[in-house]
Amino acid sequence: MPHGKTLISVVIPVKNGAETLDACLYGIASQKVGADIEVIVIDSGSTDNSLDIIRKYPKPKIISIDPASFNHGLTRNLGVAHANGDFVVMTVQDAVPADEHWLAKMLRHFDDPNVAGVCGQQVVPHHKDKNPHLWFRPMSQPSIRKVHFNTQEEYDLLLSEEKKQACSWDDVNSMYRREALLKMPFREAFLQKMPCGRRMH
């Protein structure tokens, strides 16, 4: 880890997230990570009280965009462009950290200078009215999987399913080196996470 105080920038796309946003932001503010945290909210035209909820927290950076201009890849790139941290976290308005060590658990992997990004699973609680039973994922011991290719040819030799597994990525729960995202930004395509995941590996 670099010497001095680390800054982590957390990017959250928001639109009418009042129902869950407070829990999301409270969970981020409660992190025990030994670093400063900068919250960057990109709001695409909320008409509920999302902005009032955001402003309850210390010094949020709010970027307002036209709803028609929202794009999963480009909107996240906008957040990265406004980030001051060496590390950038991507999450969403209805995601709540599982515990107060969420950021610390991701940050520690960057002790390896070859790591450009890390992501974790979503833990989806079962709710008979909101979440199908098939989405339910109970908490369990985390597993760590590192993927590295020395050449493009190594990747090209994989079977289609192996490529999919190697490039799986989740921007509900991910952290990157900012410099890596500046070199390899998200693409405009809706399914931007898999191409970026491939390039990060």
Report residue 20 as tokens.
């869950």
Helix, strand, coil proportions of the chain in percent (round to 5)? 35, 15, 50
Predicted pLDDT at 5: 80
pLDDT at 97: 94
CA distance 190 to 89: 19
Residue keyed to tokens 């590192």: 146
Q: Angle at Cα 143 formed by Cα 138 and Cα 144, nearest 5°?
A: 145
Q: Are the C-beta atoms of residues 88 and 176 closer than 8 Å to each other? A: yes
Q: Where are the beta strands (DSSP E) in the chain?
A: 7-14, 36-43, 61-64, 87-90, 117-119, 174-177
Q: Which residues pair with 88 in a beta bridge?
A: 9, 176
Query: How many other C-beta atoms are found inside a 10 Å radius of the C-beta of residue 24?
Result: 22
Counting Cα atoms < 13 Å in the Cβ hemisphere of 37 gives 24
pLDDT score recorded for residue 152: 76
Looking at residue 36, its pLDDT comes to 96
pLDDT of res. 146: 67
Which CATH class, in words, describes the domain spanning 7-120+159-200? Answer: alpha beta
Residues of the chain with pLDDT under 50: 1-3, 136, 139, 190-201
What SS3 class is residue 182?
helix
State how far Cα 122 lies from the chain centre. Answer: 11
